[in-house]
Amino acid sequence: MKIKDLDKYTNAEKILLAEELWESVSKEKLELTDAMKQELDRRISLVEEDKTEFYTWEDVKNTLKKSRNA
């Protein structure tokens, strides 16, 4: 989806628009499939059991840059 003429708005207007869009998305309206719920539960368990690794945004960017240059 592309919003037409987005460039005609100021940054402040774009931020207000984004806030209105975000607020219009009700948590009750979000639908998760059973598979999504199971995956989220699996990931939460991994974090709680200290069986996962976290990376900084800088680490991720550096890894992507290296893979592009390979």
* pLDDT, tens digit, 9 for 90 and up, residues 10-51: 999 999 999 988 888 866 677 889 999 999 999 999 999 999
Cβ count within 10 A of residue 66: 9
Cβ pair 17, 9 in contact under 8 A: yes
Residues making up the chain, counted from first to last:
70
CA 27 to chain centre: 15
pTM of the model: 0.47
Cβ pair 47, 39 in contact under 8 A: no
